[in-house]
């Protein structure tokens, strides 16, 4: 067995064991967030002791959710604390939690970003998002990348004058056939220097693209029909997955090295449907 294949199988095994462990742990442990008026839709470790979660009203309105919450939970003490409640961030997709490298914690949806001081978890700032945002991510340093009406843009909480990184376009080939290029689902790298994204041409050919924050480098990796992707913790690789069931095939994972352009491909017999993926560098 090659070193690459052994490494790849090790990554997948760890990933599947984490899923299995989370599933069995969930079945064995009591659910401490028991307020039936709200349900938890995002959760992330703040540190070894504390989790932070986003919640929204279980009673869905026609125009979305009415009131949202952010809570922290000290799991060893089973202590829950409400740190935000309001209509500014009510749970409209897209949503997320980013533990910043600037002593901030960012919790966001399509309407607002609620920023907390990472040391005290006191509410630091509330920022309203621009209109016509369809997918969104926050960098570890508080910059926003979003899909707008015309492509992928970036902006900061200090300056909402957006800078267009990738403009959607329609081109005509020599055969007079028009090509429509579409971008979506940006994700910042953990070091804040890269933005990955979906790229499709005529809603057919699908690629995983990546562009440097300063626009000095842009790459595109072919992986038609991939369904999800994530960054490596060291910001040097992207791992993408085709769950198989969505497109009638086996599970397929690919790891892309954005430093060298190398691609590692593996195909597995059993599809895995509807799972989020995480990739960790194993030393």
H or E stretch covering 276: none
197, 183 contact by CB (below 8 A)? yes
CATH of the domain at 78: 2.40.10
Do the domain assignments include residue 114?
yes
The least confident of 55-59, 62-66, 80-84, 181-185 is 62-66
Residue 9 resides in a domain? no
How many domains does one find in the chain? 1
Using DSSP, state whether 282 is helix, strand or coil: coil
d(CA 144, CA 160): 10
What's the pTM? 0.77
* Per-residue confidence (pLDDT) for residue 134, from 0 to 100: 86
Domain that holds residue 87: 46-127
Does a structural domain hold residue 75?
yes
**CA distance linking residue 191 with residue 189, whole number of Å:** 5
Environment class of residue 233 by beta-carbon count within 10 Å: exposed (0-12), middle (13-18) or buried (19+)? middle
Give the pLDDT confidence of 6-46 residue by residue, as tens digits: 555 445 544 444 444 444 433 444 455 556 688 888 999 99
Read off the pLDDT band of 161 (50, 70, 90). Answer: low
Domain annotation covers residue 108:
yes
Dist. CA 15–CA 189, nearest whole Å: 20
Q: Does 99 map to a domain?
A: yes
Q: Is residue 222 part of a domain?
A: no
81: in domain: yes
Query: Do 136 and 184 meet the contact criterion of CB atoms below 8 Å apart?
Result: no
């Amino acid at each position: 067995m090659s070193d690459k294949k052994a490494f790849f199988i090790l990554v997948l095994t760890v990933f599947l064991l984490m899923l299995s462990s989370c599933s069995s742990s969930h079945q064995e442990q009591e659910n401490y967030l028991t307020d039936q008026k709200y349900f938890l839709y995002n959760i992330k470790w703040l540190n070894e002791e504390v989790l932070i979660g986003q919640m929204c009203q279980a009673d869905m309105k026609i125009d979305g959710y009415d009131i949202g919450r952010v809570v922290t939970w000290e799991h060893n003490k089973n202590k829950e604390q409400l740190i935000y409640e309001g209509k500014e961030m009510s749970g409209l997709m897209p949503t997320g939690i980013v533990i910043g490298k600037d002593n901030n914690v960012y919790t966001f949806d399509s309407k607002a970003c609620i920023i907390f001081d990472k040391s005290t978890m006191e509410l630091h700032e509330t920022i309203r998002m621009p209109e016509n945002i369809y997918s969104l991510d926050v960098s570890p340093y508080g910059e926003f990348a979003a899909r707008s009406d015309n492509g992928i843009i970036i902006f900061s909480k200090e300056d909402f004058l957006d800078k267009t990184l990738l403009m959607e376009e329609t081109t005509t080939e020599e055969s007079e056939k028009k090509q429509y290029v579409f971008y979506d689902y940006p994700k910042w790298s953990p070091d804040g220097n890269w933005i990955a994204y979906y790229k499709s041409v005529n809603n057919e050919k699908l690629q995983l693209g990546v562009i440097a924050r300063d626009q000095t480098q842009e790459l595109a990796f072919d992986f038609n029909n991939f369904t999800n992707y994530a960054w490596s913790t060291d910001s040097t690789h992207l791992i993408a997955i085709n769950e198989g069931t969505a497109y009638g095939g086996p599970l397929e994972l690919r790891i892309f090295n954005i430093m060298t352009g190398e691609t590692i491909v593996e195909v597995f017999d059993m599809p895995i449907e509807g799972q989020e993926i995480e990739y960790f560098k194993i030393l």
